[in-house]
Amino acid sequence: MIFPGFGLRLARRSPQKPDASIRFQPQGCACQEIPARLLVPEENSILFRSAGNESAAGQGNDAMSAVLCSSPADGENWQEFVAAHPDCTNYHQWGWKSVIEKSFGWPTFYLMEVENKRVRGILPLVSQKSLLFGNFLTSMPFLNAGGIVAESSAVEQTLVAEAARIAARLKAQYVELRHRQDHALGLVQKTNKVTVVLPICSDQDRMWKALDTKIRTKVRKSMNLGLKAEFGGGEMLGPFYDIFAENMRDLGTPVYAKDFFSNILETFPDDTHICVVRHEGTAIAASFLSGYRDRIEAVWSSSIRKYLSLKPNMFLYWNLFCFAGQHNYKLFDFGRSTVGSGTHDFKLQWGAETVPLFWDYWLPPGGTLPGLNPDNPKYKLAIRFWQKLPVPVTRLIGPRIVRCLP
Would you state the pLDDT for residue 40? Answer: 31
Residue 167 three-state SS = helix
CB-CB contact of 273 with 231 (8 Å) = yes
Handedness of CA 4, 8, 9, 10 (dihedral sign): negative
344 and 256, same domain (yes or no): yes
CATH number at residue 153: 3.40.630.30
Handedness of CA 184, 190, 194, 195 (dihedral sign): negative
In a domain, residue 383? The reply is no
Give the domain range for residue 124. Answer: 8-190+359-370
Q: How far is CA 381 from CA 131, 267, 376, 387, in A?
A: 18, 37, 10, 10
Q: Give me the tens of pLDDT residue by residue for the chain, a chain 406 residues long.
A: 332 332 333 433 333 333 332 232 232 222 223 333 333 333 333 343 333 344 555 544 456 678 899 899 999 999 999 999 999 999 999 999 999 999 999 999 999 999 988 999 999 999 999 988 899 999 999 999 999 999 999 999 999 999 999 999 999 999 999 999 999 999 999 998 999 999 999 999 999 999 999 999 999 999 999 999 999 999 999 999 999 999 999 999 999 999 999 999 999 999 999 999 999 999 999 999 999 999 999 999 999 999 999 999 999 999 999 999 999 999 999 999 988 899 999 999 999 999 999 999 999 999 988 876 666 677 788 899 999 999 999 999 999 999 998 8
101 and 222, same domain (yes or no): no
In a domain, residue 378? The reply is no
Q: How many domains does the chain have?
A: 2
65-71-74-76 Cα dihedral, nearest 10 degrees: 180
Taking the model in full, what pTM does it have? 0.84
Convert the pLDDT of each residue in 138-176 to its tens digit.
999 999 999 999 999 999 999 999 999 999 999 999 999
240 and 177, same domain (yes or no): no
Convert the pLDDT of each residue in 273-291 to its tens digit.
999 999 999 999 999 999 9
Would you state the pLDDT for residue 13? Answer: 36
113 and 146, same domain (yes or no): yes
